[in-house]
Amino acid sequence: MKNKTLKMLLISILAISMFLVGCNSKTNKQADDSKKPADSSAPAKDTLVYGRGGDSVSLDPITTTEGETFKVTINIFETLLNYGEQDTTIHPGLAEKWKVSDDGLQYTFHLRQGVKFHDGTDFNADAVIYNFNRWMNGNEKQFPYYTMFGGFKKDKGHVIKEIKALDDHTVQFILKRPQAPFLKNLAMSMFGIASPAALKKYGDDFRKNPVGTGPFKFVEWKANDRIVIEKNPDYWDKSLPKLNKIIFRVIPENTARLNALANGEIDVMDGLNNSDEATVLANDKLQIIERPSMNIGYIGLTTTRKPLDNKLVRQAINHAIDKKTIIDAFYGGKALPAKNPMPPSIEGYNDAIEDYPYDLEKAKALLKEAGLEKGFTIDLWAMPVARPYMPEAQKVAEVIQESLSKINIKANIKSVDWATYLDKANKGEFDMFMLGWTGDNGDPDNFIYTLLDKDSIGSNNYAQYSNDKLHDILIEAQTIADQEKRNELYKKAQEIVHEDAPWVPLVHSTPLLAASKDVVNYLPHPTGSECLSKVEFK
Amino acid sequence: MLTYTIRRIFSLIPVLIGMTLIVFAIIHAIPGNPAQVILGQRATKEAVAELTKQLGLDQPWYIQYFDYINALLHGDLGISLRTRGPINEEIWPYLTATIELTLVAIIIAVIIGVNAGIISAWFSKSWFDYAAMVFALIGVSMPIFWLGLMGQWVFSIELGWLPTTGREDVRDPVTAITNIYLIDTLLQGRFDQFKVVLQHLILPSAALATIPMAIIARMTRATMLEVMKSDYIRTARAKGLSMFWVVYKHSLKNAIIPVLTVIGLQTGLLLGGAILTETIFGWPGIGRYLYDAIGYRDYPVIQSGILIIAAIFVLINLVVDLLYVFIDPRIKYTK
């Protein structure tokens, strides 16, 4: 008898645990009414929890080009100039006013007065000079400074000749030669002005103890878990920030992050899958926020490899790819088909260019002209990681494979881990490959020169494309100050690129964010990082 | 016993040296230049070449290896190429986060797995036996990825019982002492936080426990079935001992040795291989630390991480070996 009771007891315990491990649709329905978030102990809403896919690499913005770093540091540090709220036009930052000499060699900045760093020290001309000296006397391993200003102080190509303080609140930059995107460069998050006192105090550990002038102060960083920043009570704009605290949480998986948002554990998330948009729209507690596009996803056609060294073959491939189908299927319609190597939001975009239409007959004719009407076999490399401009590379590759087979090109889809991928692409070891780029400073130079000039072979010109005429135009455009004239040059450059077809420009995608409905004034910036000082809960 | 223990500990040394060599060889055989990865897509050719030189990556492999071993002997795990922080300090929070998750998972796996196995053997060929073994089969083959996301959907979003991700309520964070939050909250007398931490542990540890639970259940059932056929069990039953005591005391003691081995191996596996669980549940553990490191070709972190995991694995096996003696006094380790 005793045995039997025990038996029943054990069986019921196990049955219950099995039941709990599995899932039961009946309880789901019942529970809908009594649903409440697990973290119900949240205090009054002035703390924003921001869920994102990866951790920052460093909190010293000059030490990295990693976007996850800037999402945080843009709130802690300020730059001399700011971008517009949702574009890359230039606005006052730590510099209230500025003047550029006619020859484009002299930039004078009048600094905001009464600004203090979080450690209580004063922001002034000396602090600006201290920061620039730190950066330009560094090396490639320390600071990616050189990518925007032509090298370091010791290098011939370095743009800045001298920086001097005219008085306590006026700084003057003297350039060796005009650099058209100079102001736009200064607005990049990377060039946030740090407290000289804190830099001296922390040394190498400054990357874990950031001190700037921004609306938020650094509180704590638990690697791969969270970064906490709180309101700077002494911020020069007394009306800001609206929030008391921001917690940046790392939740690597996009769907899990959306689950956390739906459960109220986080208030905002980036990196929403396009395919999850419908789920968010169906939830009346959530909203979708669209980030303005400043990227390009493309198929590189390595111009040094046979048969892609033949322009006709590259043009034929351009005719054979149906961008609209790809956008509808994998970007949820949230992307523009690309025809140029830069997005239309960038000045100098050439809208007069007509894209290669999706036309298989034309493609076949071009292949015939190239003597390849019987087709050929080629490798198509698909990115192993998801990026806003290429969320589902493998599937896009399959569509392209299918299209190419219709013009007798047999594409073998291949992939390899990300580090190896970049390395092999860099060395020109791929035939066709998928890649993309998100702009740094909103300047056309940052797309066309960086991605397609012959100078960039070995860094970002993965297609190994070289055209001397293009090179001359791009170099000229770098050194003239008149934006109208520059725009004309970039339009011409885009014509050359279009004709030579080193890529199939694929899409300019719109990255999506999702947030709880009560989050207001969240304005995502095209560069991928935005200051959250105006964000609040309604 | 003592000499045996000491001998076993000394025998770990060649194993660990072999380990460093294997890890070193494998990661250096993978293509991809860490300098390129560190500097990112925006780097110039010169910068990459310069950094390659600075990192000593242009040195022959044996010099790189001996530099590494030399530092290791001085207790220096090196500097992470990615974060530029000392690995000694960096790795600790990740390791403790993983240990906490693994321990809870293995406890769940053992309690449910062993009991399910015992009852299945006890009532073999009953409906419970079949059901449990079908569940075990499903458990072994269930993709953690799917299980984790389903768990979040059901228990967090639909039922609202449990949080989806993380280790704690970030709006009311735990003050870390040992960095094992269950202990830390108790030490600080924060029982409210203890409950929250426990809630955060349930989903990831249950997901992580599925596979070992299933393996343990099947193993327990198999060995129990064998033991329960033996004569001394029949004798015990004949003496009038209740079935419960026969099963849980007499049979289990003899059946548990192979199960213990499996538990040891599974614990070791969980410690190093929880990347998927850690990713889905946003758990800042060592699996993700290593995974990120691999993506960035962060050689020092990969080397140190694998070395530490391997060392723990070997240690667990040592403990299991010693436990045998404890459970079954007939096992003697002599020279």
Question: Does A154 reach chain B within 8 Å, measured CB to CB?
Answer: no
Mean pLDDT along residues A33-59:
70
Q: Which domain holds residue A476?
A: 295-509
B contact test, residue of A155, A430, A451, A459 with most B CBs within 10 A: A459
Neighbouring C-alpha atoms within 13 Å toward the C-beta of B101: 34
Instruction: Give the mean pLDDT of A17-37.
Output: 39
Q: Does B179 score more than 90 pLDDT?
A: no
- Which has more confidence, A281 or A5? A281
Contact B284 A224 (CB under 8 A): yes
Buried b / exposed e over A172-198, threshold 16 CB at 10 Å, is bbebeebbbbbbbbbbbbbbbbbbbbb
A 201-220 residues inside an 8 A Cβ radius of B? 204, 207-208
Is the Cβ–Cβ distance between A435 and A415 less than 8 Å?
A: no
Tens digits of residue pLDDT in A276-335:
888 999 999 999 999 988 999 999 999 999 899 999 999 999 999 999 999 988 888 888
Least confident of A146-160, A331-345, A510-524: A146-160
**pLDDT at res. A442:** 85
Identify which of A144, A223, A256 has the shortest CB distance to residue B282.
Answer: A256
- Across the interface, whether the CB atoms of B32 and A422 are under 8 A apart is answered yes
pLDDT interval class at A17 (50, 70, 90): very low
pLDDT band at A28 (very low <50, low <70, confident <90, very high): very low
Nearest chain B CA: its distance from A166 CA (Å): 34
In a domain, A406, yes or no: yes
Q: In the prediction, which pLDDT does A18 show?
A: 45
Q: In the prediction, which pLDDT does A411 show? A: 93
Q: What is the mean pLDDT of chain A?
A: 87
The answer as to whether A490 is a domain residue is: yes
For residue A437, the cross-strand partners are A296
- Is the pLDDT score of A4 beyond 90? no
Asked if the C-beta of A427 comes within 8 angstroms of chain B's C-beta atoms, the answer is no
Q: With contacts defined as CB-CB under 8 Å, which chain B residues touch A440?
A: 42
* Of A14, A4, A24, the residue nearest B131 (C-alpha): A14
pLDDT of residue A35: 39
Q: Please return the burial class of A434, using the count of CB atoms within 10 Å of its CB with bins 0-12, 13-18 and 19+.
A: buried
- Measured between beta carbons, which residues in chain B are less than 8 angstroms from residue A428? none
CATH at residue A423: 3.10.105.10
Phi-psi region of A194 (alpha: psi -120 to 50; beta: other; left: phi over 0): beta
Residue B45 C-alpha, separation from nearest chain A C-alpha, in angstroms: 5
Q: Determine whether the interchain pair B165/A251 forms a contact, defined as Cβ–Cβ distance below 8 Å.
A: yes
Q: How far apart are CA A522 and CA A515, in angstroms?
A: 9
Q: How many CB atoms within 10 Å of residue A204?
A: 11
Number of domains in chain A: 1
pLDDT at A44: 62
Model confidence band, residue A7 (pLDDT cutoffs 50, 70, 90): low
C-alpha distance from residue A311 to each of A259, A308, A319, A359, B322 (Å): 48, 7, 13, 17, 71
State CA B131 to chain mean position distance: 28
- Residue B68: CB atoms within 10 A of its CB come to 22
How far, in Å, CA of B243 to CA of A249, rounded? 52
Tell me how crowded residue A527 is: count the other CB atoms within 10 A of its CB.
23
pLDDT at B266 over 50: yes
Helices A483-500 & A445-452 angle (0-180, nearest 10) = 40
- The DSSP element (H or E) to which A47 belongs, if any, is strand A47-52
Kindly report the average pLDDT of chain B as a whole number: 84
Residue A175 lies in a domain: no
Tokens representing A208? 């874990």
Q: B49 exposed, middle or buried (CB, 10 Å; 0-12, 13-18, 19+)?
A: middle
Mutate: best of A263, A433, A445, A454, partner B, most B CBs <10 A: A263
Cβ pair A6:B244 closer than 8 A = yes
**pLDDT at res. B31:** 67
Interface contact flag, B284 A42, Cβ < 8 Å: no
A275 part of contact set with chain B, CB < 8 Å: no
For residue A5, being part of any structural domain is answered with no
Q: Does the pLDDT value for residue A5 go beyond 90?
A: no
Chain A closest CA to B295's CA: distance in Å?
6
Which of A30-34, A35-39, B258-262 has the weakest average pLDDT? A30-34
Summarize the confidence of residues A32-53 as an average pLDDT.
64
Tell me how far CA of residue A442 lies from CA of A75, A89, A183, A492, A526, in angstroms.
20, 8, 11, 19, 9
CA distance A22 to chain B (A): 9
Total residues belonging to chain A:
538
Query: What is the rounded CA–CA span in Å between residue A66 and residue B255?
Result: 54
Q: Which residue of A has its CA nearest to B277?
A: A253
Can you tell me the distance from the alpha carbon of A400 to that of A414, in angstroms, rounded to the nearest whole number?
13
pLDDT at A391: 82
Distance, in Å, from the CA atom of B89 to the CA atom of B77, rounded to the nearest integer, reads 9
Position B104 pLDDT exceeds 50: yes
**Banded model confidence at residue A426, pLDDT cuts 50, 70, 90:** confident
A87 touches A442 (CB < 8 A): yes
Contact A265 B244 (CB under 8 A): no
What is the number of other CB atoms lying within 10 angstroms of the CB of residue B22? 12
Task: Average the pLDDT over A1-11 and give the result.
Answer: 52
What pLDDT is recorded for position B322? Answer: 80
Exposure of A523 in the CB half-sphere (CA atoms within 13 A): 9
Residue A315: predicted pLDDT: 95
What is the least distance, in Å, from the CA of A368 to any CA of chain B?
A: 37
The pair of structure tokens assigned to A59 is 């909190």
Residue A534's pLDDT is 94
Inter-chain CB proximity A38 and B279 less than 8 Å: no
Which helix (H) or strand (E) covers residue A298, if one does? strand A295-301
Give the residue with greater pLDDT, A3 vs A142: A142
Judge whether A284 lies within some domain: no
Question: Tell me: the pLDDT tens digits for A504-520?
Answer: 999 999 989 999 999 99
Give domain status of residue A116, yes or no: no
In 3D space, the residue among A450, A379, A386, A444 whose CA is nearest the CA of residue A409 turns out to be A379
**Cβ within 8 Å, pair A263-B244:** no
Average pLDDT over residues B61-66: 84
Contact by Cβ (8 Å): B249, B237: no
Burial environment of residue A106 by CB neighbours within 10 A (0 to 12, 13 to 18, 19 or more)? middle
Q: By mean pLDDT, which of A411-420, B2-11, B135-144, B182-191 is the weakest?
A: B2-11
In a domain, A178, yes or no: no
Chain A hits for B237, Cβ within 8 Å: none
pLDDT reported for residue A12:
54
Q: What digits encode the pLDDT tens for the residues A170-198?
A: 999 999 988 888 898 999 999 999 999 99
Determine the Cα–Cα distance for residues A335 and A253; give it in Å rounded to an integer. 22
Considering only alpha carbons, which residue of chain A is nearest residue B86?
A: A205
C-alpha–C-alpha distance, residues A289 and A277, integer Å: 10
- The three state secondary structure string of B108-159 is HHHHHHHHHHHHHHHCCCCHHHHHHHHHHHHHHHCCHHHHHHHHHHHHHHHC
d(CA A291, CA A268): 13
Owner of token pair 């560094």: A138
pLDDT in the model for residue B333: 59
Q: Give the closest of A6, A34, A423 to B32, CB-based.
A: A423
Report yes or no: A12 at the B interface, CB cutoff 8 Å.
no
A329 burial type by CB count under 10 A (0-12 exposed, 13-18 middle, 19+ buried): middle
- The reply to whether A282 touches chain B by the CB within 8 Å rule is no
CB < 8 Å to B161, chain A: 38
What does the DSSP 8-state code read for residue B79?
A: B
Which of A148 and A244 is assigned the larger pLDDT?
A244
Strands, E assignment, A340-495: 376-381, 409-414, 432-438
Calpha distance A373→A307 (Å, rounded): 12
Closest by Cα among B103, B112, B111, B157 to B274 = B103
Q: Which residue has the higher pLDDT, A524 or B5?
A: A524
Alpha-carbon gap, residue A498 to A341, rounded angstroms: 9
The percent helix, strand, coil of chain B (3-state, each to 5) is: 75, 0, 25
Residue A485 has pLDDT above 80, yes or no: yes
The DSSP code sequence of A122-191 is: BP-HHHHHHHHHHHHTS-TTT-TTHHHHTS-TTSTT--EEEEEEEETTEEEEEESS--TTHHHHHTSGGG
Contacts across the A-B interface (CB distance below 8 Å): 214
Q: Which of A28, A33, A45, A141 is the best residue to mutate to test the B interface, defined by the most B CB atoms within 10 Å of its own CB? A: A141
Chain A nearest-CA residue for B92 = A223
Most confident of A99-103, A430-434, B6-10, B164-168: A430-434
Alpha carbon of A83 to those of A61, A128, A231, A437: distances in Å?
16, 19, 22, 19
Could you give the ipTM of this predicted complex? Answer: 0.81
| pLDDT, tens only, A202-256 | 988 899 999 999 999 999 998 888 999 999 999 999 999 999 999 999 998 888 9
> In 3-state terms, what secondary structure has residue A417?
coil
Reported confidence tier of residue A440, pLDDT bands at 50, 70, 90 = confident
Q: Do A256 and B148 touch (CB under 8 A)?
A: yes
- The Cα–Cα gap between A424 and A431 comes to 11
Confidence band for B2, pLDDT divided at 50, 70 and 90:
confident
Give the angle subtended at the CA of A273 by the CAs of A270 and A275, to the nearest 5°. 150
DSSP-based helix, strand, coil % in chain A, nearest 5: 35, 20, 45
Q: Are A332 and A290 in contact (CB under 8 A)?
A: no
Whether pLDDT at B121 is above 80: yes
Q: H or E stretch including A505?
A: strand A503-509
Point out the least confidently predicted range of A72-81, A379-388, A528-537, B201-210: A379-388
- Fill in the DSSP letter of residue A275: G
Does a structural domain hold residue A82?
Answer: no
Per-residue pLDDT at B38 exceeds 70: no
Report the residue of chain B nearest A447, measured CA to CA: B42
Instruction: Give residue-wise pLDDT tens across range A404-418.
Output: 999 999 999 999 877
